[in-house]
Structure formats: C-alpha cells, structure tokens
Structure 1
Amino acid sequence: MRRLIPTGFPAAALAAACCFGAIAAAIRLQAFPGLDERVAARIQGWESPWLTPGMIFLSWMGTGLPLVLLTAAIMGLLYRKLGLRRELGLIAFIALGSALLNTGLKHLFRRPRPEVYRLAEATGFSFPSGHSMAAFSLYGLLALLLWPHLRGVAGRTAVLAAAGILIAAIGLSRIYLGVHYPSDVLGGYAASACWIAIVLALYRRLSRTA
C-alpha cells in the first residue's frame, strides 16, 4: 500500500472525538437553544420544485441498497484499475463498522427526529445522522486511498473537493428534507472521522509490522 495522506491519524481521531463529544454535550445540555431549528429553517427555506427531487436523490444515495451497490462498484474499480487488494477489506470493514457504530450511538442518545417540517419519511432516532456517517466513511476514505495514486496538486485537489461536496450535499439533503437536525449531521461527520482515523492508524501500524 502506498503511503496515505501524511496525517497524524491518532491526533485526528482525538480531535474528531472531541468534536463529537462537544456536539453531543451541547445537545444534552441544550447549550444553544433554538440554534438547530433556526439553521434548519434557513436550509429548508431553499425549498423549490427543482431542488427537492435532487435532495431526495442525494438522500436515497446516502444509505441502504444504493450505498451498498455503490461501495461494491468502487471496490471493483479500485481493484481493476489500481490493483488494490488489502484496501478492499479496509473499505468493507470501515463501512460495516460505521453502520454498527451509528446504530449504537443512536440507541445511546435516543434523540427524536424533527417533527415540524417533513418532505420525506424516516424512522428511528436522529443523532447522529446515519446518512452523514455513511457518506463520510465512503467518500472520505475513497479520497484518502486515491490520494497517493494521483499526481499534481490539481488532481488531488479535485478528488478532495469532489468528496467534500458529496459528503456535504448528502448531509444537507437530510436537513432540507426535515429528517435531521444540523447537529445530527455534524455529529455524524465527527463520529465517522474518528472511526476512520482510528482504523487507519491501526492499519498503518499493522502494515509496518507485517
């Protein structure tokens, strides 16, 4: 495996864990009353006949069978085009772990979903957003894996920008559709970033000793 982005993964995991803890504490303590609702209302104010189908499509891509099929397709391309093998197991492990972590965190915090404004239906608890965690895990990890195979600033910047846009768009779609608070989405990003950083730190350590 070529070298990943030269980042201190343990430090990144700690920073992401601190961000998640701060968001969770703010929700529990109601440190910023009404802030979630005001930000959500601003985003939902974008509602329009042409934007809503796109947001529904992005949300649909963010979890379930579409995400599984997309992940499998990306794994196939990485294997055929770049010859990555061990990384395929890494992708599957992070994706599965992200889903299990999200389920555990949802049942730990048991935050009800928004009820005031809905353009889509969703069940289960609200915090953290499963769509946001899944999107961050897949596209964030994909950008990290592609990074060492790209040459030049332009290519690497394009990959990071594309991953960031997809992650942000899927998170925004959940707020726009009224099924998550903004803090659910931010918490999902932080939890997923922490999970990826922990796994990659362990993976690099094991790769050195293998």
Structure 2
Amino acid sequence: MNNRKLELSKTLMISIVCAISFGLIAVFVSNTKIKNFDNTMINLIQGLESPQLTTIMKLFTMIGNGFSIAIITFVVMFILYIFLGHRTELVFLVCVVIGSSLLNTLLKLIFKRARPDINRIAEAHGYSFPSGHSMAAFTLYGVIAFLLWKHVPTAVGRVTIIILSSLFITLIGVSRIYLGVHYPSDILGGYLMSACWLTGSIWIYQRYLERSKRIRSTHE
C-alpha cells in the first residue's frame, strides 16, 4: 500500500512540475525572451528541408490533426469496449482526450500568440501557443501507452510501446516547426501542458480505482 501511495505521489508531483515549467515558458513567451531559442531551433530544423522530408513531415502533421486524432481515439475505444470490455478505461480515454482539446483552446485564447510567418510550407489558422498538435499527440499517444502498458506483460513489449509513442509525439511536434506553423516554444509548451494534464488525470483515475477497490473489499 505504501508503494502504491508513493507511485501516486510521484505522478502528482510530475503533474505539478510540468505545470510550473509551462508557466515559466509562458512568461518567457509573453516577454519575448525566448526568441533566440525559437530562432535557433527553427533555423536548425528548417535547414534540413528537402522534398522527401517535406512529404514525411506533412504526413506526421496529418496524423496529429483533429480528424486523425478523432479516428484513432474511436479505434482505441472500439478495441477497449468490444475486445477487452474495459468500460472504465474507455471513459478515462475519452475524458482525457476531450479535456486536452478544450484546455488547448482555452490557453490559446488566453495567450493569443500569432503564428510564425517565416518559410511557411503549410497553412494553419488560429493562435500559436501552445501547439494543438503537440498537445493532442502527447495526450493521445501518452494515454494509449498508459492503457496498453497494463495489458502488455513483457519488458520488450513495454519498451516498444514507449519508443513508438515517443517517436510519434516527437515527429508530430517537429513537423509543425518544419512546416513553419509553430514556434519551438509552442511545441515545448504543448508537451508540458499535456504532460501536466495527462499525469494529473492519471493520478485522479488511479485514486478512483483504489477507492473503488476499497469499497468493493468492504462489501465482500
């Protein structure tokens, strides 16, 4: 029980640290103190431009857009409900994904940061900070990794899940910088806020499961 409480405390602590880190980046963005970092990373990533890489980056941006996120979410929901019968996990997945989207919309309206206009390869509308693609990708692939982790018994399988989810999250974020529609600080801010939201949601979800388990045990 003590180990379980320690794990929950670590999860909550990660959420708090990510929230503080996001706040620091938001302050830097508001004071334009992060321009040097943004410009350096933009020059580095866009300096790799080639027709083949542009095709790949557009593919990953497509994977991270709202329609693709919705499709992947419904597929995972179908698997959880039909094949595994995990209704609680299904509700958790839906709440986390929808909550992340609403949170991103709110934050964009608060900060109202204009998008970059240098070497724009793709078109994008709305405000820039934090990146909706990076938040959606981190939330979706992060929660999928969390849910699958519990059902994969082998270390190789779990490592594969972490590598694949990290790869998708990273490439979707990088694609937005490469295509010229986001600053690197938008992506970093999106990752941090999504990590805050996801770990906080996992903390609440695990506390709910622990409480439900205790209630069932008292009635047996």
Q: TM-score, normalised by structure 2?
A: 0.89
Q: Which amino acid aligns with 1:64?
A: G
Structure 2 residue aligned with 1:10: 12
Alpha-carbon RMSD across the aligned residues, in angstroms, is 1.5
Whether 1:191 aligns to 2:193 is yes
The farther-off stretch of 172-181 and 57-66 is 57-66
What are structure 2's unaligned runs of at least 5 residues?
A: 213-220
2: CA distance, partners of 1:141 / 1:168: 15
2: CA distance, partners of 1:77 / 1:52: 33
Q: Which amino acid aligns with 1:122?
A: A
Which one has the largest radius of gyration?
A: 2
CA offset digits 1:89-126 (Å, max 9, x no partner): 11111111101000000010110000111000001100
What are structure 1's unaligned runs of at least 5 residues?
A: none
Q: How many residues align?
A: 206
Whether 1:105 aligns to 2:78 is no
Kept in 1: contact 2:34–2:185 (CA 8 A): no
1: CA distance, partners of 2:103 / 2:177: 21
2: CA distance, partners of 1:32 / 1:159: 33
1: CA distance, partners of 2:129 / 2:26: 9
Q: Which amino acid aligns with 1:59?
A: T
Moved over 6 A (4+): none
Structure with the bigger percentage of helix: 2
CA offset digits 1:4-60 (Å, max 9, x no partner): xx4622111101101111211121223343220121111011111111111111111
CA offset digits 1:113-171 (Å, max 9, x no partner): 00111000001100000000000010001111111211222111110010000000100
State the shift of 1:185 in Å.
0.4
Structure 2 residue aligned with 1:64: 66
2: CA distance, partners of 1:35 / 1:189: 16
Counterpart mapping for 1:151-166 below 5 A: 151-166=153-168
2: CA distance, partners of 1:67 / 1:17: 24
Q: Which amino acid aligns with 2:187?
A: V
1: CA distance, partners of 2:205 / 2:150: 16
Structure 2 residue aligned with 1:170: 172
Structure 1 residue aligned with 2:76: 74
State the shift of 1:87 in Å.
0.6
Structure 2 residue aligned with 1:95: 97
Structure 2 residue aligned with 1:25: 27
Counterpart mapping for 1:101-140 below 5 A: 101-140=103-142
State the shift of 1:62 in Å.
0.7
Kept in 1: contact 2:134–2:173 (CA 8 A): yes
2: CA distance, partners of 1:79 / 1:65: 21
Structure 2 residue aligned with 1:41: 43
The farther-off stretch of 164-173 and 65-74 is 65-74
Which residue among 211, 217, 220 is the counterpart of 1:209? 211
2: CA distance, partners of 1:140 / 1:193: 8
Q: TM-score, normalised by structure 1?
A: 0.93
